[in-house]
Structure 1
Amino acid sequence: MASLRDISGDGAGDALARYWTFYWAVAAAQLTRWLPRRPSRVLDISGGHSAAQAAEARHTVLEIRDPGRTEAPAAPRGAPPAKGATIPLVGDTGTLAYLAGGSMDAVIAENRVLSRHLATEATVAEIARVLRPGGRVLLCVDSLTLGMALLAERNYWAHLSDVPSAEVVLIPWPDGTITRSFSAHQLRELLAEAGLEVEWIRPRTVLSPSTVEHVLADSPRT
């Protein structure tokens, strides 16, 4: 995941249930710390709970939903009523040509949405275009480490050997989908080409699923 600012003016089944609960709790905490302190115009293309969380923090959120997902995601149980507003809009999250340039204070591209859009450069360029000068972006992509682990798990050794020299790494998932993985260097380069200055790039969590499962099994309230 990465945080940036504009300088033109980011479940594996019941066996990992605890891990994904932990993962999304970390994601929510990171988003809370990142969100602007003052009410702002926020664009969310994530397709998750980010829009509701940003609205609860008093922001006006334009939530773009891909045509195949026209219903709003269910709010987490016990979620407080929104203090801001969420404006849903059905549209292609990969191309934002229907939005005016410089119209957004912040953009949230969470939930690996940029890895699912394989032409990531085009989407990031559009994100940079709709940001006002000084605006900020929070995004999350699949790491190259994850991509290599998936290839190894499926015995794609020929593909794995090509990874070090590949400029674009596309990963086939067991469910038939394909996503794009990035090294920190590749992501930094892609963002710089779009005119975005990187504030930080860091892993969402350095804890393995097995570690999280072990700790939470012994101490569920941790």
Structure 2
Amino acid sequence: MHVQPSSTPAADRPRSPAAQFSAPNRLSDYWRFYWAVAEAQIGGWLPSAPARLLDLSSPDFQGTHRAVASGHDVVTLLPSPDMAMRRPLTLVNGRAVPPRPARRGRMCSVVGDSALLRAFASESFDGVIADNRVLSRQLATEASLAEITRVLRPGGRVLACVDSVVLGMALLAEQDCWPELSHAPSADVLLVPWPDGSITRCFTAEQLTECLADAGLELEWLKPRTVLSASTVEMMLARDPRSMGRLVEMELRATESDDYVGVHLVASARKPG
């Protein structure tokens, strides 16, 4: 039987949610936009005075350097010694680039379990960054948040990013999990398999708010990381590659809405005291 080939090149076909978000290409237009938005959100969240921060967001998280450059001392938690960040050697005209002046903040990497922060004393950090979906990958999110609350000083804050039910339902539909999809909106806990075999925990805004409150944290704000779709961003950047700044500004204004439609939710919460 002869199969008629698709008239649309593979590179031009719309990408599914699973393909788009389970294997992000950081060089693509959408992911450059995504991380520009994330950096802007993190920049607005960082304390105004130098602080001691714990970053649970994995070694490839780009917001860590923003915090260090802003004058904060950051402890990053690594899953293994092999994940330690290495500074690449850049050559210009055959010579190494002279080292830049030392940043005001300092960064220290520690190997440990981001779900169990037993290596750290109670009330030892001014802030905790749990971005890059780390709390969705830890299925016992309540226990992780309890540990975060323990290591925060009174008045300390946490920035958290989780997968939303919007993304979870898209992934279930794509995998033909229709019985599970029908119960997803009303589920107390929604666990979703990913194409790579991992499992993620997805949240509604109300569920994330409840988890933060149960851990003893006071919600400051909660919003989608992005509202603009990947196809919209890529179309606009294809028309005008210089429009990245305007798109980020548009996104930051859009996320002031109470309509949580994004694939990831971002929240800031504070420990009373």
TM-score, length of structure 2 as denominator length: 0.73
Establish whether residue 43 from structure 1 lines up as the match of residue 54 from structure 2: yes
C-alpha distance in structure 1 between counterparts of 2:222 and 2:82, whole Å: 29
Contact residue 126 and residue 153 of structure 2 kept, 8 A: yes
* Residue of structure 2 aligned with 1:53, choices 55, 66, 90: 66
Match of 1:221 among 222, 235, 242: 242
Unaligned 5+ runs, structure 1: 1-10
Instruction: Report deviation, 1:177.
Output: 1.1
CA change 1:15–1:106 in 2 (3 A) is closer
Any gaps of 5 or more consecutive residues in structure 2?
Answer: 1-20, 91-99, 244-273
Contact 1:101 / 1:130 at 8 angstroms: preserved in 2? Answer: yes
Q: Does the 8 Å contact 2:30/2:230 carry over to 1?
A: yes
Deviation at 1:183, TM superposition (A): 0.4
**Match of 2:256?**
none
Q: Using the alignment, how far apart are the partners of 2:146 and 2:86 within structure 1?
A: 27
Larger radius of gyration: 2
Aligned identity (percent) is 54
Deviation at 1:68, TM superposition (A): 7.1
Aligned pairs, number? 210
Q: Distance in 2 between matches of 1:147 and 1:116?
A: 13
Instruction: State how far apart, in whole Å, the 2-side matches of 1:37 and 1:202 are.
Output: 21
Q: Helix, strand or coil: the match of 1:186?
A: helix
Structure 1 counterpart of 2:152: 131
Moved over 6 A (4+): none
CA contact (8 A) 2:56 2:130 kept: yes
**The one of 58, 65, 70 aligned to 2:78:** 65
Are the equivalent residues in 2 in contact too, given 1:171–1:179 (CA < 8 A)?
Answer: yes
Match of 1:119 in 2: 140
In structure 1, the partner of 2:29 is: 18
Provide the C-alpha distance between the structure 2 equivalents of 1:18 and 1:46, rounded to a whole number of angstroms. 22
Secondary structure, aligned partner of 1:140:
strand
Alignment of 1:23-38 (within 5 A): 23-38=34-49
CA deviation vs aligned residue, 1:170-215 (integer Å, no higher than 9, x gap): 1111111111000001000000000000011100111000000100
| Pairwise CA distance, 1:98 | 1.4
Q: How does 1:1-222 map to 2 (within 5 A)?
A: 12=23, 17-47=28-58, 48-67=61-80, 70-72=83-85, 82-222=103-243
In 2, are the aligned partners of 1:16 and 1:209 still within 8 Å (CA)? no
Q: Partners of 1:68 and 1:145 in 2: how far apart?
A: 35
- Give 1:114 shift: 0.4
Distance 1:27 1:98 in 2: 28
Mark the CA change 1:124 to 1:14 in structure 2 (over 3 Å): closer, same or farther: closer
- What CA distance in whole angstroms lies between the structure 2 residues aligned with 1:33 and 1:184? 21
**Distance apart, 1:53 and its partner CA:** 1.6
Cα distance in 2 between the residues matched to 1:69 and 1:182 = 31
One-letter amino acid of the structure 1 residue matched with residue 31 of structure 2: W
Per-residue CA distance 1:35-91 (angstroms, 9 max, x = gap)? 00110000100011222221111001011111275221768x9x9963200010000
Moved more, 127-136 or 47-56: 47-56
Q: 2: distance between equivalents of 1:80 and 1:112?
A: 32
RMSD (Å) for aligned C-alpha atoms = 2.1
Query: Structure 2 CA distance, aligned partners of 1:202 and 1:169?
Result: 19
TM-score normalised by length of structure 1: 0.89
Give 3-state SS (helix, strand or coil) of 2:118's partner: coil
Contact 1:35 1:54 in 2 (8 A): yes
